[in-house]
């Protein structure tokens, strides 16, 4: 997996474009709780296959309170609707410059602190985030 830096909305759109026609399922994690009123959770509800409490998920292990993981599976037509919905966000997060001019800080967006991972037909991870830390990784060629 290679780290992905997201500086602009265009970087975010590029990621969504790369995921198109490759994703079979998504895992969405609400850290340290649950939020069934979340707009993405509500939108994806028809595709929900599993909901469970977890202390580890792609890219993350915790020792504290459990988080809620939602797994969504869908077909190719549904994928287009889902990726289009994700376009409503400005990004998962943005890397921003600190006072020394380095991209060492993260700015959360309306996506919140949710973590998301995209998997292919064989269960291989294509892309995932550890959003609150501003981390994103992909196995796709950027």
Give the tens place of pLDDT for each residue, 26-57. 999 998 776 777 899 999 999 999 999 999 99
Residue 116's pLDDT band (boundaries 50, 70, 90)? very high
Mean pLDDT, range 71-90, rounded to an integer: 93
DSSP string, 26-93: EEEEETTS--TTSHHHHHHGGGEEEEEEESEETTEE-SSS-EEEEEEE--HHHHHHHHHHHTTSS-SE
> Total domain count for the chain?
1
Model confidence at 91, pLDDT cuts 50, 70, 90, reads: very high
pLDDT, averaged across the chain: 91
What is the pTM for the complete model shown?
A: 0.91
Query: Is residue 83 scored above 70 in pLDDT?
Result: yes
Measured between alpha carbons, how far is 79 from 25 in angstroms, rounded to an integer?
9
pLDDT higher than threshold 80 for residue 98: no
User: Domain limits at 50?
Assistant: 2-138
């Amino acid at each position: 997996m290679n780290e992905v830096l997201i500086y602009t909305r265009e970087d975010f759109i590029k990621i969504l474009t790369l995921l198109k026609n490759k994703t079979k399922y998504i895992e969405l994690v609400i850290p340290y709780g649950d939020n069934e009123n979340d707009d993405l959770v509500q939108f994806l509800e028809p595709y929900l296959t599993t909901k469970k409490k977890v202390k580890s998920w792609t890219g993350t292990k915790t020792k504290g309170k459990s988080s809620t993981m939602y797994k969504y599976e869908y077909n190719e037509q549904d994928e287009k609707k889902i990726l289009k919905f994700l376009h409503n966000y400005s990004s998962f997060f943005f890397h921003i410059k600190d006072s020394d001019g380095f991209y060492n800080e993260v700015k959360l967006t309306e996506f919140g602190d949710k973590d998301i991972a995209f998997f292919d037909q064989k269960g291989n991870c294509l892309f995932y985030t550890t959003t609150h830390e501003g981390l994103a990784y992909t196995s796709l060629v950027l």
